[in-house]
Amino acid sequence: MLVSGRVQGVWYRGACRQQALALGLAGWAANLDDGRVEVVAEGPEEAVARLEAWCAQGPPAARVRAVVAEDEAETGLEGFETR
């Protein structure tokens, strides 16, 4: 998922990580140089959809403009981390 808008910063990534962990997902979240946040999440389809919906809403301090979600090959990641 690429999340665009005023979402740059550790706080957003950390909140995303906590949400992903609560949903039992694996993956990571990273700030991109252009201000977007990239989220790679693996797990049950329903849980990934719930994370996508959360990202679209975003934490209260974020102003999310768009979320682009694309399927990727599974990587076998364990846990969830921020970069």
Residues labelled as active-site residues? 13, 31
CB 1 within 8 A of CB 39: yes
**Closest-CA residue to 62 (of 81, 35, 83, 32):** 35
Ramachandran class of 81: left when φ > 0, alpha when ψ lies in -120 to 50, beta otherwise: beta
CB 58 within 8 A of CB 64: yes
